[in-house]
Amino acid sequence: MPDPGVSFKRDLSEWRIALVAWRLLVLQAADPVVGAGMAEHSTYRAHPWRRVEHTLGSGRRLFYQDAETLRREVARLNRSHKRIRGTMADGQPYDARDAATRVWVLLTLFECVVTMRRLGGDRYDAGQLELAYAEFKEAIAAFDLPEQELPATAAELPAYFARYARERLEFTEAARYLLGDMLREAPRPRRLWFLGDTGWRITRVLVARVITDLTVADLPPAVRERFGLVRTRRAALLSVLLHRGAGAVVPRLPDRLRYRSPEEHRPPRLPRQPRSGGDARGPRVDRFFREVLDQTGDGFITVHDLRAMAHNVCWQLELDEAGEARVYEAFEGWWEQLRAAMDANGDGKVSREEFVAATLAGCDRDEAYLERGLLPALRAVFTAADTDGSGFLEFDEYRVVFGGPRVHPAELSHGFRQLDVDGDGRITVEEFLHGFTEFFTARADSTSGAQLLGRP
């Protein structure tokens, strides 16, 4: 009979998992295939917290939900990974469907839960570890991975990790960035809204030091040795204090506080009043580039940024294959319009300056300019978000797509009310498209679509 005190799925949803979340990303990024995919396809530079949330959220869908949710998530990951392929810096091809890489990524999730328990002082004993591993393997069986790639028992995992570290792992650019500059550049997480931008810039210096030291201290010895990283006494002490402290406190909390809840409640905050006077389009379009289009955070938009946007929409809505195909097709069409209108030198990139200038010029000279790219993509988003097929977006449907990690609930509500021109509590496709059209074309900030991105 299974040990009632052992549940890998339950442990994965415990808040303590945050202590090993960055470690998880570094271990995954150290696989050369993952590192190459992140460099070319991921939004981790511009949206690090979303990257963490998607990784852990995918884990919850795989291991913490019902069989149908598991089936949909495996199908979604398979479709997503088909699009992640290319050529590494050394000229070697890579493909995210590589079996060894997929096994490594999945096993890092299991290993991080085991590490969370071990460092917290409540490690699995040998029998519990095998039960947890059996639960894990039952869930990932839906991936239909080659049996020879997956360790048969949990007892074989340490040898597997040591061998994989020696033979496959590299200190990739993505792994280096995760341990170095990313945390010093990361945008303010939604839950720390009260710090403000200045407060966050000060706080993140300390946060970066703590997370970097903790991650290095907690990495497997074979990985630290492979990368030439040193576990200092200060980092080791920090690890003990944080993990043992959390291990002593969190398991004693009631379940509603111990485990992550799908609903999060935040204190309200009123959006700023719109500015008036002058032509406000330039700053709005510039902000749209920085906060929406430049998904990879490199100062340019490419086809990968548009695909990343499509991926995020599909991930939020858990679309089926046909729904995903429609969204991706629409965003590919939007990129083709951007490329044709703005990529003058044909290098496959559009800079912020090029985007702002070309967008303003296009809207000024051609009323149908947005219809050739942006609006078809938005229609696809509207159709995908309209999950009940009513022809309207209710607030709950709108929130799924637009309630991102950097959007406060008060700002989200404000944006919804702006689009809901007739005030009937739902948005038609005409209202939806009209609001975004005004965002790009209205010279004043007082029009209905001017503040769709929340506070400036």
- Return per-residue pLDDT of the chain as tens, 456 residues: 344 567 888 888 889 999 998 999 899 999 999 998 887 776 666 677 766 777 767 766 777 566 777 777 788 777 777 778 888 888 889 888 899 999 999 999 999 999 999 999 999 999 999 999 999 998 888 888 888 889 999 999 999 999 999 999 999 998 998 888 777 777 777 667 788 888 888 888 888 899 999 999 999 999 999 999 999 999 999 999 999 999 999 999 998 888 875 443 333 343 344 444 467 788 888 888 887 888 777 778 888 888 888 888 887 787 888 888 888 898 899 888 888 888 878 888 888 888 888 888 888 777 778 888 888 888 888 898 888 889 988 888 888 877 765 566 666 777 788 788 788 888 999 988 888 888 888 776 655 555 555 544
Give the N- to C-terminal CA distance of the chain in Å, as an integer: 57
The angle formed by the CA atoms of residues 145, 107 and 251, to the nearest 5 degrees, is 135
Q: What is the pLDDT of residue 120?
A: 95
Q: What is the pLDDT of residue 448?
A: 56
Q: What is the pTM of this model?
A: 0.64
Per the document, the length of the chain is 456
Structure tokens at 446: 């007082």
Q: What is the pLDDT of residue 442?
A: 77
Q: What is the pLDDT of residue 281?
A: 80
Distance in angstroms (rounded) separating the CA atoms of residues 403 and 312: 12
Structure tokens at 366: 């051609």
Q: What is the pLDDT of residue 271?
A: 39
Distance in angstroms (rounded) separating the CA atoms of residues 246 and 253: 11
